[in-house]
Structure 1
């Protein structure tokens, strides 16, 4: 068996120290996904380099910048990663060199070529990347790039800063998330449907015969289980489901606190914890509606040799739930911290872990059978893990542990969004501000999206963005208004947009402000990391930021 050298161990420790904080967020497997990712940035604008900076620092595997532009004075004024000395040089090359200095673990490359030419000659170039980030692309080019990536299911992230407007669009055909890390979730304690191991352990503890120390160090979860049994003897095999009934259970627990010789209740913190946790721990164990919907998804029901591991696991989970699980998902196997002596806390923890392991084993059996049925089964390694390309036992355990929080994000394509016949007009019309609503601020961020689309239409007609040249400013205002009205007409909107928005767009002149780019760089990089690691839930699908008012909105367009 191969052993690590002292240099390899030292390098591993250094990397753990270097990435300590992010490892706590997404773990070793999430970091590994980052370190194998290949990211392509189209155009080294201020926004683009800010996004890359926030991906290079946490350690993506490699990046490639595609940009045919030379560095000009405007770039130096708003791009932190370009200098005066670089004016006239390749923007892709200079940005690559400076960004590469941020992290020696990340390799950088560049291609000084026009995106349209590259799409025409070698569209497969873009599909070789894990993720593509596009900034400051004309609408026609963006749609061509998006179509190529959509067909190969390569995630595309579109980001731009236009004056005080920040825009982000995530374009991914299907993104499956196992570790969604929900902010608020109930503990999986199963007090309403205790499994056999939990019953046996709790029933083995006799509160009446315990000495003082053991009585005050019995885990609160056991206390709730026992006093719930007393409550159910009078009220039937159900959970307390209203304020009055839960208070009655709390009173039962309170009466269980031992009293001293003078009849004064002892200080028993575990009983206080039990009373405090009655409301949060007594909830009905059920399969979330989102997971039920995934059970009925065609991708889950109709497996084939090309099916993602996620959908094979989902089908196995469905079969487990309908059979061994008796209508329930696998036990998560995690319990909260609580006042208890180490021995009994570890015993209780082991009860949940053993049940979780047994459930995961049952799910794994379904996985192996499904892999065989679709022709993807392979012999086991000596370490009992499956070969790459199938599904490892560790993957099954992770899936089971997070089975209540599984999520699938399916974005609409840019073609669907940009075509008037398939555009999500209901979402847009709900937010558009009509000119008569004087002083109203509702929907401002959506109006900014409309103005960005109008500016793109302006560019396609006049080959420059409105207000980009001082000598055309006055003429560009009515032109932009005309483009905006045509866009609204194509959508069938009777609403109009205030002239103030049109004038502001012309005043912006498609300029990038570094402060806005820095903010959007952080937002966009966060979404890229979600996609690369397969953890946390990315937006679906559009984010608009108004830097002037520091407001933002998310739209599903």
Structure 2
């Protein structure tokens, strides 16, 4: 009902401003599977339940210990001995009545062996505290079905997150520094016709001071081109001269003083951002060259069908122009002029959408597979499309990425060293079935064993001297914390990981690819392309 919609808009008001109604709808249809209840994993789930994720299932057969209850707000001390998954589910569901949740105590390895299709119904899988063998098995299965896996945990003061996704296509990447799409350097006929119909000289004082800056810039641009062989101002020096000419357009009153015309000042300030050439961004050119864009079939996803239509749009029209976005920025203007301009841009954008739709008619636009809204959003964001692909977990473990090796060699105290240490902790666990430092009496011997793990790993990567160059402090710190989860670090990582999961669900904003390491000792972090 309308009343219910109003309540929902009020409840989720702030996040709707980030990802819109359509993003919220996708979030509310999402199904999350959480593997293993830890302080970090429940924080992630909390941050997905509050904005209204559709449903979740917790997979964990473990029972609550005193240590669990001590560092996890969603495991009550009075429930020691009970199932972690059951208690966590009950407490998490109290956060948001819109969200459905369930749990199972089935063993993950048995599920992977006997019922691997169990995982195919989930939008994203979140895992914490997995051993290497199980992690690889799970990652290989999800990779095959292109289901994103987000592995996240905290280890003492260090937070770790790894996003594994074979392919993730982003339409609405929301770039921070996007220019407005005004087309002043290559205007379309309807815009030229409207601006040419305006005569600045014949305007009265009020009209002249309310001409939109877009019109002013176009008029002065034509005058500049006439004096400079048809060329627009290109470098800083020319643009500075052009700005001065624009400001000279302010009228002089009977006292020989310039009138107060804010629109001309605004026009001068907007020169650098408004006079931008239309061109195909590099990221979009890569998408056009992608095999998935070139070879479209009924099995192609909506993104690649639309990308193929966009490629045809560019090839069959002006080779450098994308569909017009159709939006105008706020500007100093009278309402009538602004609305006229707005309608001109909207009409042209609609024409471009119709043209692109005609190119994809054979692949679902007609039979309802692609909605008008989806096509419109794609056209509006054509400049900002992104395709994210990570390496698989097996590739990461077989060959260290060059970016990590370069970071380790060039920076002695890079946070990338913590990635090495956590990889060595995994090896330590594989060798000894426990984490280093969990037994106070064995700390000294664990330090030696962990150093051996570091030597083995770095030797296999071809950087054998790294362990000597590395401070002993790293190994000592790992053994000192004894795999303890500190709630403040778990809480921070819960926020970071939930944000990335929402990016994956909504296909908005660009997720981190690879590994993210948080160093709580220094309050620094690093993203590594693994």
The residue aligned with 1:423 is: 400
Hey, what's the Cα distance between the residues in 2 that align with 1:185 and 1:287? Answer: 14
| CA deviation map 1:63-108 (0-9, x unaligned) | 0000011000111111011111110000000000000000000001
Task: Identify unmatched segments of 5+ residues in structure 2.
Answer: none
Hey, what's the Cα distance between the residues in 2 that align with 1:480 and 1:249? Answer: 65
* Correspondences of 1:322-361 after superposition (within 5 Å): 322-361=315-354
Hey, what's the Cα distance between the residues in 2 that align with 1:204 and 1:447? Answer: 65
Q: How has the CA–CA distance of structure 1 residues 377 and 196 changed in structure 2, closer, same or farther, with 3 Å as cutoff?
A: closer
SS in 2 for 1:468: coil
Q: What is the Cα deviation at residue 377 of structure 1?
A: 6.5
The residue aligned with 1:513 is: 486
SS in 1 for 2:142: helix
- Contact (CA 8 Å) 2:278, 2:320: kept in 1 or not? no
Task: Confirm or deny that 1:26 pairs with 2:5.
Answer: no
The residue aligned with 2:391 is: 412
- Contact (CA 8 Å) 2:357, 2:365: kept in 1 or not? no
Task: Work out which of the residue numbers 496, 502, 507 in structure 2 matches 1:529.
Answer: 502
> Scaled by the length of structure 1, what TM-score is found?
0.93
The residue aligned with 1:392 is: 371
- Contact (CA 8 Å) 1:192, 1:238: kept in 2 or not? no
| CA deviation map 1:493-514 (0-9, x unaligned) | 1221332211111111111000
Task: Identify unmatched segments of 5+ residues in structure 1.
Answer: 1-7, 380-385, 435-439
The residue aligned with 1:382 is: none
Hey, what's the Cα distance between the residues in 2 that align with 1:195 and 1:251? Answer: 27
Task: Work out which of the residue numbers 423, 432, 438 in structure 2 matches 1:453.
Answer: 423
Q: What is the Cα deviation at residue 395 of structure 1?
A: 1.1
Task: Work out which of the residue numbers 279, 292, 313 in structure 2 matches 1:299.
Answer: 292
The residue aligned with 2:30 is: 37
The residue aligned with 1:241 is: 234
SS in 1 for 2:162: strand
Hey, what's the Cα distance between the residues in 1 that align with 2:312 and 2:389? Answer: 24
The residue aligned with 1:130 is: 123
The residue aligned with 1:103 is: 96
SS in 2 for 1:208: helix
Q: What is the Cα deviation at residue 127 of structure 1?
A: 1.9
Hey, what's the Cα distance between the residues in 2 that align with 1:240 and 1:303? Answer: 41
The residue aligned with 1:488 is: 458
Q: What is the Cα deviation at residue 325 of structure 1?
A: 3.9
The residue aligned with 2:150 is: 157
- Contact (CA 8 Å) 1:433, 1:447: kept in 2 or not? no
The residue aligned with 1:383 is: none
Superposition RMSD in Å: 1.3
- Contact (CA 8 Å) 1:131, 1:154: kept in 2 or not? yes
- Contact (CA 8 Å) 1:127, 1:148: kept in 2 or not? no
Task: Work out which of the residue numbers 180, 202, 207 in structure 2 matches 1:209.
Answer: 202
SS in 2 for 1:237: coil
Hey, what's the Cα distance between the residues in 2 that align with 1:62 and 1:118? Answer: 20
Task: Confirm or deny that 1:538 pairs with 2:508.
Answer: no
| CA deviation map 1:474-497 (0-9, x unaligned) | 221111111111111221212213
Q: What is the Cα deviation at residue 378 of structure 1?
A: 5.2
Q: What is the Cα deviation at residue 255 of structure 1?
A: 2.1
- Contact (CA 8 Å) 1:458, 1:465: kept in 2 or not? yes
> Scaled by the length of structure 2, what TM-score is found?
0.98
Hey, what's the Cα distance between the residues in 2 that align with 1:21 and 1:134? Answer: 28
Hey, what's the Cα distance between the residues in 1 that align with 2:84 and 2:231? Answer: 68
Task: Work out which of the residue numbers 471, 479, 504 in structure 1 matches 2:449.
Answer: 479
SS in 2 for 1:431: helix
Aligned length: 527
Hey, what's the Cα distance between the residues in 2 that align with 1:131 and 1:57? Answer: 17
Hey, what's the Cα distance between the residues in 2 that align with 1:545 and 1:99? Answer: 25
